Structures are given as structure tokens and as C-alpha cells.
Structure 1
């Protein structure tokens, strides 16, 4: 701890203490959303990687494909994201070599939770969402907290802009204020349109979200991608 130097009558005195703190984390922002349907799952993220008012790159993907039926997305401290994905991909490869098969989306969800909980005393500073298809071909989305707790839901919005999108999703997807019949009949094109509208809106309110949006669509036929541009200022 240091003290703040002040001068009184040309005499140097030390009065108010100044404290110094150190954080091993850096917040690199970004927004990740996902929607699960009857036979599809959609996950999307913006491509801006920044720190406070500095933009490091406008072309950074925050989505990582784990299998033909599952994709994971992150927001937060980017060095933690890279470390965790390296460990997770190593775990999936070890499972494939031992069992001669690809880990299912549900199993990946549990493995992700276990790996996050293992670091509970020095947790990864990131927000995580997993999207994919289960063994029945039904879309599923899993949202996590930093300690590994997770839940299956039909939509998720995380990251710096997640708090702006959540009420929008509650209204249109999670049947919080709309009839379940509307949700059950939601087609893939409708889900993509909702995601695009949400990102266009949040880019006006969150400085950490912008530039481009990367969308990944997971169906039984495979994984397809789409991108569209956001504001860059």
C-alpha cells in the first residue's frame, strides 16, 4: 500500500493511502446467443474482440465446433477461452481414441460442467453456451456459470450484450409471455431472423458487441454457417 503525497505550506506530507490491486483476468467482451428448435439448434456470436475501449480485432470467431452435432461458444477473458477449448478438445480426442466413437452432445455438456467445476477455486473468467442435437435429433442448448452449473433450455444469451437480449428472448422464445403454441411452431428461418434482430439492437447499446455476427446452424444434415455485418463504431 502506498500513500498519496500532498504539500502543505511547501512541506511534503503523506495523507490518503492509495491501494493497488491486481487482477489476472481481462474482460474481452462479446455476446453469444443460442436457440434450440424441434430439429435444429442455432448458435451465434459477434466477432469483436476488445478490452475497455481498445479493439484488438474485428474478425475473431468465438464459436468452436466440437463434433458434427455440437458447437460451443464463449464470451469473456479470451486467454481463458483458448486454454479451456484446448483442454476440452484434448479430452474429446482422448474419449474418441478410447471408445472409438464421437462424444454425444449430452455427454459433452456434462464433461464441460465437470471441467469448469474442477477449476472452481480459480475459475475461468468466461461465459459458456453449448448448442447441438441430442440423440433423438432434438435441438438443445446448455448455459453455464463459471463454476460449472448448467441447465438445458431452449434459448440462451450470454456476454456483454446478453442482458439486453434476454428479455427479447423471453418474449419470443422462452414462452415467458407468449403462448407455447407459438414457440412449438417456430421454424428455423424465424429463429435466424430473431437472432439477427437481437444483434442489430444490442449493437446500438453495447460497445463490446459489433462488427460482424457469425451464425452456425446445426441440423441432421450437418452444420451450415452464415454471417452478416453490424455497425463498426
Structure 2
């Protein structure tokens, strides 16, 4: 008589795998149960629809491209993008997240299609045109030996997600998630900061005081320029 697959597996292995699955479920419940938002969301789920109505669809442009953005709920919705051609709306594509990049301008609209089968809901319409010209393409090159940019000591021991930018005074800055742990993301509640007068610096960036220390998880840092600020 042939034994089943589970019959051939050592009982110890089955117990270990089962224990690992139970621990994984327990950790996820422990982390997500007290949260009013999903793990990667800044809005409670019951407020997303209202914010979608308020914000609608926003557009930005560059040389040869347009980008549409809206508040999304990827766990519960799929988004249908349509483009007006004459007096008709033509299907473009479905997307999961609140982002769509394209070369062609025109009049667009975005629908939310709930995964539970509810009716489609219009998020918004927008008319947008790309800027004239060809978008520049930048190819990253390794221009020299590897070097350490910043090894934090005041606020943590490593750099996780980070961004590097030059401020309006000409100073280069690095902002990066960190913590005084061995990489525990639950402890990453602020950004380490490094500065230098040129980039790349000859001997690494100087560490300054951490920022965004609000006793909450700190997400991937980024910089927005608005009104020359």
C-alpha cells in the first residue's frame, strides 16, 4: 500500500511547519489588530471613499508624459481608466494602485470597481496634456569605488529606506529610516539625517539630529518642492 505524502514526512517537520504558520498568523494579528489603518495606509478604510470624493483625480505632467493620481484602496478595489475619444469613452486599462503614467494627453476618467461586486463608482475626470519635448533619460553609472555616505550613531545603527537631495541653499542632505536595533521595523520611528556641502562627499556625511520623531512608525522619506520652497 502506498503511503501518502504526509505519511512519509517526519512528524517533527510537520509540527515545525504548523508552528511556523501559527506564529506568522499570530504576529500579523498582533501588529495589525490595534491599527485603525491598513499596514501601508495613512487613512482608515471607512474614510477612503469620502477622501476619494474630495480629492478626485489629480494630474501632473512632464516632457512627453502625463501622470494621474488618486487615493486608492488596493485591498478592496480595482481601478478602471478610460480616455475620451470624440463622444465616446474608450477603455485604457485596469490598475491596482492609485497611479497611472502615460505618454498621451487627453480627457481621462477613473472608476473604482469594488472587489465585492458592488457598482462602479466614478472617482473623477481630468483633462491633461504633456509638455512638449522629449523626456530626458538618465542612465546610472558607477563612477568610482564604493564608499560609506552615512553611518548613523546618534539615532540608530543603519539606514533603511532613504532619499538624497540638495536643498535651496546648496547643501546635500540624506534622510533615512533607522533605529537602535538590529533592523526591527517596529522601532523605526524617525529619520537619521546626514549633510555635506558637496556630493558625493570626500569623507562621508555629517550626522545631525534626527527628524520626524513623532513616536509613530516613520515611512519612506521624500521631499516635495512647492512654490520654490
Give the TM-score taking structure 1 as reference length.
0.21
Larger relative strand fraction: 1
Larger relative helix fraction: 1
Higher Cα Rg, which structure = 2
Give the TM-score taking structure 2 as reference length.
0.22
